[in-house]
């Protein structure tokens, strides 16, 4: 026979319901979602969202332990662009009007509201980071833009963001950071050197012989800038007395527009150029600068695609050649040693999209995504890795490693940190070090739990308090009887 709860016991049950509902549950992590990760300054920050409480956390891992911090942010309003190890760079809006913010120790600060942006792009704000400050490019709308016909004329404005202070720049063109000069090389019709405070140091004319491309070369203690024009002219500038000094200027025969040769964007070692044979476009050529002139050191046949891959202190060349009537790609990795290319490994993979990224481009930016069926080649500190849906291959050693089962045949993300590789999806995170994967998800959950308790939500304390309150109320009710 059912019994009706007495009116005097209702407050007790109501209080019990409230207290139990206030106890945070982190154990299984079923309500947690790992959104992304950002690696900088020897650590990596995971963005973790609690779907139950709708709270956002930054969980920082240094290779040994985690530290969690609750972020007073709503990602439906703000887009995370970068984490520099100290503060977050956020963006609100993507086209037309864009607001730029920093978030540091619980404080959100508006840096600038950019207006009049182009409606022809996915995002009007481009961000570069050199380890000390940001180089920002805002794409403006032109009065002649016509979205109906797709006709767009871009106008660019450039800024430096240093110590949360925005500095407008009176220069134009894409930017490349030159560590030896502690300055940005900003290229347009004229090329400018701009220091960290936005001061114009010098200007050069790289484009008098045609459309050009420039590459940064770190060769021991020497820093060089290699510039090539579509008409075949190649120049090398050395950095001396805080300026660029021309040390090589020569034309590689008669070249048509788009024929090259071209330098890699970043290279460690003696300067190289990638080229196509002007008489047979199925042949690719690698030229090496010997201190006096460029010499041919290797040819690739069979319509090979060449990818420069730069690690911490060395550079590699990855070639991809169609195989098995185009159903596969034969990948070969070479390392430049002295005046020759040394073959390290070969790997045949199914034909598909291959993205190649140098690890220096990742610092502080969102983790790289590996989608089902795609391949990603990325350089670590001293190795080159290929990731696909099931495996991770160390192309420098030729070794293949199985991915954790939770990630196989699913979309996942990766980043480099702390002397290893971090791979993760929405539910699990793993750290690859010394030849094996370790599941670091439990440690992440423990850090989140500690953060919750430090903010006054200690589960044991709540349970003890709950028990004491219930006992006191029950004793009080008995006395009233």
pLDDT at residue 14 is higher than 70: no
479 or 106, higher pLDDT: 106
Q: Confidence class of residue 474 from pLDDT cuts 50, 70 and 90?
A: low
Pair of tokens at residue 9: 């016991």
Q: Which stretch of 25-34, 273-282, 283-292, 389-398 has the lowest confidence by average pLDDT?
A: 25-34
| Average pLDDT of the residues in 18-43 | 71
| Terminal CA-CA length for the chain | 23
Any domain includes 171: no
Distance CA 250, CA 229 (A): 11
The H or E element that residue 460 is part of is helix 459-480
Question: Is 27 part of a structural domain of the chain?
Answer: no
Question: Do residue 310 and residue 433 come from a single domain?
Answer: yes
**Of 376, 432, 379, 375, which is closest to residue 404 (Cα–Cα)?**
432
- Residue 272 belongs to a domain: no
pLDDT for 311 equals 85
Neighbouring C-alpha atoms within 13 Å toward the C-beta of 59: 31
DSSP string, 324-389: GGGTEEEEEEEEEETTEEEEEEEEEEES--EEEE-GGGTTTSBPEEE-TT-EEEEE-SS-EEEE-S
CB 260 within 8 A of CB 268: no
Give yes or no for residue 69 having a pLDDT over 60: yes
- 469 has a pLDDT exceeding 60: no
388 in any annotated domain:
yes
Together in a domain, 347 and 456: no
Is the domain of 481 the same as that of 433? no
DSSP 208-263: TTSSEEEEEEEETTEEEEEEEETTSEEEEEEEETTEEEEEEEEE-S---TT---B-
> Which band of pLDDT confidence, cut at 50, 70 and 90, is reported for residue 3?
very low
What is the share, in percent, of the chain residues with pLDDT greater than 90?
64
pTM, to two decimals: 0.85
Give per-residue pLDDT as tens, 146-183: 777 778 888 999 999 999 999 999 998 889 999 999 99
Q: How far is CA 40 from CA 90, 149, 224, 313, 383, in A?
A: 16, 42, 26, 18, 19
Q: Tokens 């409606």, residue? A: 119
Query: What pLDDT, on the 0 to 100 scale, is given for residue 450?
Result: 87
CA distance linking residue 199 with residue 193, whole number of Å = 8
Q: What is the DSSP letter of 464?
A: H
Q: Which domain holds residue 453?
A: 1-12+43-71+442-481
The model's pLDDT over 332-377, given as tens digits with 9 standing for 90+, comes to 999 999 899 999 999 999 888 889 998 878 899 999 999 888 899 9
Statement to judge: residues 457 and 376 lie in one domain: no
- Same domain for 360 and 418? yes
């Amino acid at each position: 026979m059912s019994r009706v709860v007495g009116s005097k016991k209702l407050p007790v049950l109501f209080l019990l319901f409230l207290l139990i509902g206030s106890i945070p549950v982190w154990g299984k992590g079923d309500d947690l979602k790992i959104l992304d990760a950002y690696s900088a300054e020897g650590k990596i920050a995971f963005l973790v969202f609690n779907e139950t409480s709708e709270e956002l956390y930054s969980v920082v891992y240094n290779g040994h332990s985690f530290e969690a911090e609750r972020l007073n942010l709503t990602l439906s309003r703000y887009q995370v662009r970068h984490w520099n190890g100290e503060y977050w760079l956020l963006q609100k809006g993507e086209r037309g009007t864009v607001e730029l913010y920093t978030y540091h120790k619980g404080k959100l600060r508006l840096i600038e509201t950019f207006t009049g942006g182009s409606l022809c792009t996915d995002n009007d704000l481009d961000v570069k980071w050199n380890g000390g400050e940001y180089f920002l490019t805002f794409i403006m709308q032109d009065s002649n833009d016509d979205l109906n016909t797709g006709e767009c004329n871009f106008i660019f404005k450039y800024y430096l963001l240093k110590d949360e202070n925005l500095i407008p720049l009176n220069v134009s063109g894409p930017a490349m950071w030159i560590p030896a000069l502690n300055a940005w090389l900003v290229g347009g019709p004229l090329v400018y050197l701009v220091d960290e405070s936005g001061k114009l140091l010098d200007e050069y004319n790289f484009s008098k012989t045609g459309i050009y491309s420039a590459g940064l070369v770190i060769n021991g203690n020497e820093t060089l800038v290699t510039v090539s024009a579509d008409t075949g002219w190649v120049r090398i500038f050395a950095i001396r007395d805080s300026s660029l000094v021309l040390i090589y200027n020569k034309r590689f025969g008669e070249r048509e527009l788009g024929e090259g040769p071209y330098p890699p964007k970043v290279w460690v070692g003696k300067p190289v150029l990638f080229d196509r044979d002007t008489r047979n476009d199925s042949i690719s050529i690698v030229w090496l600068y010997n201190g006096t002139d460029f010499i041919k050191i290797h040819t690739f046949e069979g319509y090979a695609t060449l990818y420069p891959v730069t690690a911490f202190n060395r550079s590699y060349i990855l070639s991809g050649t169609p195989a098995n009537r185009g159903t596969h790609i034969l990948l070969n990795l070479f390392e430049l040693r002295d005046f020759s290319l040394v073959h390290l490994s070969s790997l045949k993979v199914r034909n598909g999209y291959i993205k190649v990224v140098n690890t220096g481009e990742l610092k502080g930016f969102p983790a790289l995504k590996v989608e089902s069926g795609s391949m990603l080649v990325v350089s670590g500190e001293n190795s080159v890795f290929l990731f696909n849906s099931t495996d991770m291959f160390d192309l420098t050693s030729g070794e293949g490693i199985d991915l954790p089962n939770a990630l196989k045949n699913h979309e996942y993300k990766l980043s480099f940190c702390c002397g290893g590789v971090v791979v993760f999806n929405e539910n699990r995170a793993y750290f690859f070090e010394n030849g094996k994967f370790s599941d670091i998800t439990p440690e992440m959950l423990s850090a989140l739990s500690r953060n919750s308790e430090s903010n006054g939500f200690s589960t044991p304390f709540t349970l003890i308090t709950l028990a004491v309150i219930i006992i006191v109320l029950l004793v009080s009710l008995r006395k009233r009887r």
